[in-house]
Chain A
Amino acid sequence: MERISPHQFTTLGAAVILGTTFLPVASIVTGVGGRDGWMSVLPGFAVGIPYCLMIFSLSEQYPRKNLLQISATVFGKWIGNFIGLIYILIVAYLGGLLLGQVGDIYQVSIMPLTPLWVFFLGGIFLVLYLVKSGIEVFARFSEVVFPLIVIALLLNVGLSIPRIEQGELLPILSEGFKPIFLGTRKIMPFVMTYMLFLAGVIAFLPTGKQELSQLKKGVWRIIFLVGILDTLVVLIQLLVFGPAETIRLVYGLLVLGKLVEVSRTVAGVESLFLGVWLAAAIIKIGSLFFSVIWGLESVFGLKGVKWRHAIAVVFLGISFRFIRGPSLITEIGLVDEYLIMPFVALWIPILWGVSRWKRGAGN
C-alpha cells in the first residue's frame, strides 16, 4: 500500500484546503461580515483543527483504515455503508461542480470564445492522469505546485498594494463581533471539504507515534498557512475595492491581477495567475476524485480503471449540467453550506464520540 510522508501530507493538505478557496473567499466573507469580514477567515479555518485531531485519534485507534471503514466498524455495516453512500454522492457532486468552475473562470476571464468542453475535458484528463499515478505522486505533485501557488498569490497581493484606496479598512469592529461570527460560519465549509479528503487519506498516513505527532503539527501548519493566505487575499481586495465592490466581484482576485502594473511595462498578468489557479483547481478536483475512489472501494468494493473512467464520466456529466455560470456558483455555495458542512460537522464528532464510548465500555 502507498504511503505519504508527514511533509507530503502537510503540502498536500495545504494545497487541497487552499484549493480554489482564494477566489470566492473575499466576496463570501465580506458579503456577511462587511468591512470586518477579513477577521473571520482565520477563526473559520481554525474550526478544522479539532476535527483533524478527532480524525487522527480515530486513525490511532484503527490504523490503516479510512473513516468509511471505521464507520462501518463502529456503527455497523448498514449505517456505515449509508454514510459511505452519502459521502460518495457529496464528493462526486462537488468534484463535478468544481470541474465546471474551471470552465466558468476561464471563459469569464481570458478565453471567452473557447468552448466549455475543452476546459472540462482538459481538466478531467489531467486529474485522471494524476489519479492513475497514485496518491504518492499526487502528493509529490502538490509539493512542487503548492509553493508556486503561494508565490503567485503573494505576488498578486504585493503588486496590488499601489492600488490601495485610503482608509477602506476603517472603521474596525463598528458592528461588534457579530460579523466575525457570521463570516466564520461561511468559512467553515471550506475546511469541512478538506475533512472529506482527510477522511480517506488517513489510511495512507504513517501510524508511528513520532509520525503522528508530526502529522498533528502539520495540521496546525496547514490551517494557519492557508488561513493567513486567505486572510491576505480578503484584506487586499477590501483595501483596493472597498466592501461594496468586494462583495459584487465574482472573481475579485482576477480583477486584481488585471490591475497589476510594474513600471508601466508589465501589465495584465492575470493569465499567469490563472495558470497557477488551474493547478490549484486540479489538486482540489483530484482530491475529490480520490475520495470517490476510496468511497467506492470501501462501500461497494469497486476498484480498477473502468471505475475511474466511470467517475470521470460522472464528473463531466455534472459539469455539463451546469453550464450557466451563476447557477454553478450558487450550487457550489449551497453544496458547501447545506450538504458538506452539516454532514461533516455531525459525522466526525459522532463517530469519534461513539468510538470512544465503545472503547470505554469495552474496557
Chain B
Amino acid sequence: MKTERGKGHKFILRLTIIACLLFLTGCWGKKEVEDLAPLLGVGFDQGEQPGTFLVTEQFARPKKDSSSGAEIEDRTFSVEASSVREAFEKFSEVAYRTPFMGSLKVIIIGEDFAKSGDFNNILDFFQRYAEFRRSMYLVLAKGKAQDILNLKLRSGLLPAMAIKSNIEGGDEISVFPTVRLGHYLTILGTKSTAPIFPVVESVKSREGVEYKEDGKDEAGEIRIHGAGVMHGDYLADYLTDEEAKGYMWLENDVIHRLINTVDLNENSVKFGGQVLKANTKYRVKVNNDKMEIQYQIKTSIAIDEILGPQKQLSGLEWVELVKQAEKDFAKVIEKECESSIKKERELGLDFLGIGRHIEQKNSAYWKTIKDQWEAEIADFPISLEVKVTIHHSGMSSSSASNSGGEGQE
C-alpha cells in the first residue's frame, strides 16, 4: 500500500518537473534578441513647450550584410515629452523593436537644457529602472544633444559609440574628467562638492582640426574638450581646457598625459613629453594660524621633443637641460592647477572637492565651516607643491643640428 502511495508521489513529482520544464523555460515577457533595439545613447534638450524636453535616442541596428555580424547602423529618433517614460512610449509607437536599455553607453545633456535645470529629475529614471547600469557615461554637449547624436561621423561610428570610445581612450591624455552615472550620484550625495561633466562638441573642418569635407557644411568629427560645472541642477559654467587639465591633476585623475612647455616665456628651449605616472596627495594643515590645504603632485615624465637647442650637448649640459625641463614642466602643471583653483574661487563652487578633502582629513574643523563653505571657497588657503622627475629624454641626447662637422666645438 505504502509502495503504491510512494509511486503515486513520484509520478506527481515527475509530472510537476516535466510541466515546469515545458512551461517555465523562460521568463514572462521574454524577448528574442532579434526583437530588441539596443539603446546606445540618449540626449536631452530643452523642449519647445513649457515643462517638456526633447529626447533623442540612438539605437543600434545590426547591419544585414555585415560580414562580422558586429557592424551596426544608426537608428535615431527625437521626440518631445514631459517624462522619459513618455518619450519611450512615443518611440515604441514607431519602432518595431523593443528598446533594450541595458546597452546604454552615454547620456548627453544639451547646453540649453543643462542651463535651464531639471537635470536630476530626468536622471531619476536611469538610476531607478533596473535595466540600466550605473556604469554609463554622462557628458554635456556644446550646443544641442540632438545635433551631436545626429552627426554622420567620418569614422563611420555612431556618435554614441564614438563618445564612449573617446572617453575610454581618455586615460592616454587625461585632459577631461570621466563621469559615470554612479560617480555622479555619489558626488551628488556629498552635498559640498559641485559635480562636473566632460563636454562633447562637434568639430567641423578648420575648427582646430582640418580634414577633407564631404561637400556639406556639416561636422564630421567629434571631440571631448574641457568640462562643465554644475550648480545643483543647472550648468553654472564651462572649464577651459587648461582649467580642466588643472582639475585632473588636483583630483589625482591623471593616468598619462601629453604635455609641453611651449606657452612658457621664461625659457627659449621648449619641451614636449609624456606623463608616465602621476600621483596627487593632499594635506590639511595649519599654516600661520590658518588652516590650509596643500596639494603635493608628483609625476614622472619622459621627454619626447625638445625645441630650441641647436648644438650638440656635452654630458653635463644634457643633465642640466633635463633639470631645466623638470622645472618647466612643474611650472606648466602649477599654472594649470592655479587656473583651476582660480575658477573654483570665481564660481564659488567646490568642483575640486576641497571641502570633502577637509572633511576627510579634519572632520572637527570641517564641522565648524561646512555651513558657510560656499563663502569660504573664495579665500580658503590652498598651496601647491609640484615635483617632476624626468625619467629619460628619448633616444638621443641632443637635437639634430647642422653643427659644422664631426668633433667640432
Give chain A's interface residues, CB within 8 Å of chain B: 108-115, 118, 122, 125, 163, 165-168, 170-171, 174, 240-245, 255, 258-259, 261, 267-268
Contacts and interface: CB of A to CB of B under 8 A. Distances in A.
Contacts of A174: 359, 363-364
Q: What are the nearest 5 A-B pairs in CB distance?
A: A244-B189, A113-B29, A174-B363, A170-B360, A171-B363
A255 B134 contact: yes
A243 B189 contact: yes
Interface of B: 16, 24, 27-29, 102, 130, 133-135, 182-183, 185-186, 188-190, 252, 356-357, 359-364
B120 to A, nearest CB: 13
Contacts of B134: 255, 258-259
A171 B360 contact: yes
Given A111-B28, A113-B28, A114-B27, A165 B183 contact: yes
A114 to B, nearest CB: 4
Contacts of A170: 359-361
A168 B359 contact: no
B130 A109 contact: yes
Contacts of A111: 27-28
B130 A240 contact: no
A242 B28 contact: no
A109 B252 CA distance: 35
Nearest to B189: A244
Given A167-B360, A168-B186, A244-B189, A118 B252 contact: no
A108 B134 CA distance: 16
A167 B102 contact: no
Given A114-B28, A171-B360, 6 more contacts: A167-B356, A170-B359, A170-B361, A240-B186, A245-B182, A261-B135
B130 A110 contact: yes
B133 A171 contact: no
Contacts of A110: 27, 130
A190 B363 CA distance: 32
A261 B168 CA distance: 14
A118 B183 CA distance: 36
B185 A245 contact: yes
19 contacts: A112-B130, A113-B27, A118-B28, A163-B135, A165-B183, A167-B356, A167-B360, A168-B186, A170-B360, A171-B363, A241-B182, A241-B185, A242-B186, A242-B189, A244-B186, A245-B186, A258-B133, A258-B135, A261-B135
A166 B189 CA distance: 14
A241 B252 CA distance: 19
B29 A114 contact: yes
Contact of A259 (B27, B182, B190): B182
B182 A240 contact: yes
Contacts of A261: 135
B186 A166 contact: no
Contact of B189 (A163, A245, A259): A245
Contact of B133 (A243, A244, A245, A259): A259
A163 B180 CA distance: 10
Contact of A171 (B28, B183, B361): B361
A109 B129 CA distance: 9
Contacts of B189: 241-245
A22 B189 CA distance: 23
B131 to A, nearest CB: 8
A267 B104 CA distance: 13
B28 A115 contact: yes
B383 to A, nearest CB: 20
A29 B109 CA distance: 35
Given A171-B361, A244-B190, A112 B29 contact: yes
A268 B28 contact: no
A39 B54 CA distance: 46
Nearest to A169: B360
A110 B29 CA distance: 11
Nearest to B357: A167
A255 B357 CA distance: 27
B177 to A, nearest CB: 13
A245 B364 CA distance: 24
A242 B362 CA distance: 18
A165 B190 CA distance: 12
A165 B183 CA distance: 7
Contacts of B135: 163, 258-259, 261
Given A112-B29, A118-B28, A244 B363 contact: no
Contacts of B16: 125
A268 B134 CA distance: 11
Contacts of B364: 174
Contacts of B27: 110-111, 113-114
B62 to A, nearest CB: 19
A259 B127 CA distance: 12
B63 to A, nearest CB: 22
A171 B186 contact: no
Nearest to A172: B363
A244 B192 CA distance: 13
B188 A244 contact: yes
A118 B23 CA distance: 11
B130 A268 contact: no
Nearest to B31: A113
A267 B16 CA distance: 34
Nearest to B132: A258
Contacts of A165: 183, 186
B280 to A, nearest CB: 10
A168 B102 CA distance: 27
A243 B182 CA distance: 13
Contacts of A163: 135, 182
Contacts of B183: 165
Nearest to B356: A167
A166 B102 CA distance: 26
Contacts of B29: 112-114
Contacts of B186: 165, 168, 240-242, 244-245
B320 to A, nearest CB: 38
A111 B360 CA distance: 40
Nearest to A246: B189
Contacts of A243: 189
Contacts of B133: 258-259, 267-268
A240 B24 CA distance: 36
Contacts of A122: 24
Contacts of B252: 166
A171 B359 contact: yes
A170 B282 CA distance: 14
A242 B190 contact: yes
Contacts of B102: 268
B249 to A, nearest CB: 14
A73 B320 CA distance: 92
Contacts of B360: 167, 170-171
A111 B28 CA distance: 8
A243 B359 CA distance: 14
B171 to A, nearest CB: 13
A127 to B, nearest CB: 15
